[in-house]
């Protein structure tokens, strides 16, 4: 009886405050609150697998740096717990709030990119982190999400202009140039590539004409080439990744050690915890090169399993976006497209670097690598995707009023009218007229 009363009270609160999106303790509502079960399964699988692999890859490094072999494992576990909290929080926040405050989200992203240049902490020659006590906030991670939040709102507001006018198409790229300049000053070229890819992907999915992209893509490639050749160490990276064994003990050391890890793994790996490359041979084994440790300890089977989870995750995000687009929930659709591109591009670059297909970049593997900022932002992004799935599934467009339904409604209304007395010219009361809402002609985007 007590549990029934609690459920009734929660239902009353949900009816009174429907925008908060509180999940209720019933099977149907919980199933809807999950948004997309396969998306949740793939995300939890990557989080759990990442925690196990970070714990394995960081034991000796943690012992040498802190004296506690479980230091990074415990911290990563706390980050995973915080990621789950941000995921749930993101699934509770209504999309209309993200859309309404999207300009302020953009301002926040730009401010963080400026602040990190002023008070940021330098690690390995890059100023990318803002010290916040127990965690170092990576400004570019927040800026990527802020850009997607704002761009989704921009595409909804200027959809027709973006598709037909080159000027409206160019405005987001001018904004991107300003944010990209701040990212270059850190420097964080991997984040720049991810942000530009998200911008191009969202514009393409919005239906922008393909030939608009030609000039922008050419300028982007030329600009990145000039940036790469401006510093000698970047030129060395571009050259050595094609033949890392020529600089086995120089610029190609990290990549050769990663390839050795893949070679040791064979089909089913050396076993969990039995990696040799993590014993100070492979630098950043628990962060940027954790996928190489996965291949070494779990073999080709483990590496393909993790890759399959990423494919499933991105596919479900794109499916949620497509369903939202078909139902007219355009803001949620473009938001999911941007988030899907971010996760797909970042995972592709990280795995490509690990296998030697791309030059070395400082990008983590989403939901897997050690790092608080990346995990928290990834959790928030997935929570937003689940919110899109929830609002899309619960959205029911109003059915048009048919002639038969109108006739029955008029009959019911006329039966409730009072008949005036004989000889009177006016009724005792006047039937209230229905005024059409001024917003009924607007679509719910």
3-state secondary structure of 365: coil
**322 near 333, Cβ under 8 Å?**
yes
416 or 247: which leads in pLDDT: 247
48 or 394: which leads in pLDDT: 48
Bond preceding residue 60 cis, omega within 30 of 0: no
pLDDT over 70 (residue 326): yes
**Using 50, 70 and 90 to split pLDDT, how confident is the model at 397?**
low
Please write the tens of the pLDDT for every residue from 146-172: 999 999 999 999 989 998 888 888 899
Q: What is the full DSSP assignment across 381-445? A: HHHHHHHHHHHHHH--PPPPPPHHHHHHHHHHHHHHSPPPPTT-SS-SSPPPPPPPPTTTTS---
2 or 303: which leads in pLDDT: 303
Q: Are strands 121-123 and 126-131 parallel, antiparallel or unpaired?
A: antiparallel
Taking residues 233-241, what's their average pLDDT?
A: 72
Contacts of 221 (CB under 8 A, 6+ apart): none
CA distances from 87 to 78, 83, 162, 434 (A): 14, 6, 32, 44
Taking residues 196-204, what's their average pLDDT?
A: 94
Taking residues 275-287, what's their average pLDDT?
A: 91
pTM: 0.81
221 or 343: which leads in pLDDT: 343
**Using 50, 70 and 90 to split pLDDT, how confident is the model at 409?**
very low
CA distances from 316 to 59, 149, 310, 322, 337 (A): 34, 19, 10, 10, 11
Q: What is the full DSSP assignment across 305-347? A: HHHHHHHHHHHHHHHHHHHHHHTT-HHHHHHHHHHHHHHHHHH
């Amino acid at each position: 009886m007590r549990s029934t009363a609690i459920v009734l009270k929660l239902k009353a609160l949900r009816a009174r405050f429907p925008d908060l999106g509180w999940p209720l303790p019933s099977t149907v509502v919980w199933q809807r609150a999950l948004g997309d079960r396969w998306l949740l399964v793939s995300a939890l699988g990557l989080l759990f697998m990442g925690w196990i692999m970070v714990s394995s890859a960081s034991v000796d490094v943690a012992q040498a740096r802190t004296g506690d072999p479980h230091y990074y494992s415990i911290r990563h576990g706390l980050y995973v717990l915080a990621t789950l909290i941000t995921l749930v929080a993101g699934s509770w926040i209504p999309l209309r709030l993200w859309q309404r405050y999207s300009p302020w989200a953009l301002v926040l992203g730009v401010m963080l990119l400026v602040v990190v240049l002023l008070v940021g902490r330098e690690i390995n020659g890059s100023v990318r982190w803002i010290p916040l006590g127990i965690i170092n906030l990576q400004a570019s991670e927040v800026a990527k999400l802020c850009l997607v939040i704002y761009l989704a709102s921009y595409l909804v507001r200027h959809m027709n202009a973006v598709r037909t006018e080159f000027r409206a198409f160019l405005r987001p790229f001018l904004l991107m140039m300003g944010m990209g300049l701040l990212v270059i000053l850190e420097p964080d070229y991997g984040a720049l590539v991810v942000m530009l890819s998200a911008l191009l992907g969202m514009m393409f999915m919005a239906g922008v004409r393909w030939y608009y992209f030609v000039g922008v893509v050419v300028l982007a490639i030329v600009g990145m080439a000039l940036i790469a050749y401006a510093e000698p160490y970047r030129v060395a990276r571009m050259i050595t990744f094609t033949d890392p064994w020529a600089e086995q003990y120089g610029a190609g050391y990290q990549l050769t050690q990663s390839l050795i890890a893949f070679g040791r793994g064979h089909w089913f790996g050396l076993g969990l915890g039995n990696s040799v490359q993590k014993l100070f041979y492979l630098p950043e084994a628990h962060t940027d090169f954790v996928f190489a440790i996965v291949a070494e300890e779990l073999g080709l089977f483990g590496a393909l399993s993790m890759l399959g989870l990423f494919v499933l995750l991105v596919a479900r995000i794109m499916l949620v976006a497509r369903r939202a687009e078909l139902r007219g929930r355009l803001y949620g659709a473009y938001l999911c497209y941007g988030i899907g591109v971010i996760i797909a591009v970042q995972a592709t670059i990280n795995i490509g670097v690990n296998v030697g297909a791309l030059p070395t970049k400082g990008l983590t593997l989403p939901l897997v690598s050690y790092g608080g900022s990346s995990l928290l932002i990834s959790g928030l992004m997935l929570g937003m995707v689940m919110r899109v799935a929830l609002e899309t599934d619960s959205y029911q467009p109003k059915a048009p009023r048919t002639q038969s339904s109108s006739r029955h409604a008029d009959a019911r209304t006329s039966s409730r009218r009072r008949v005036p007395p004989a000889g009177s010219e006016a009724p005792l009361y006047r039937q209230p007229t229905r005024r059409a809402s001024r917003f009924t002609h607007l679509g719910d985007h």
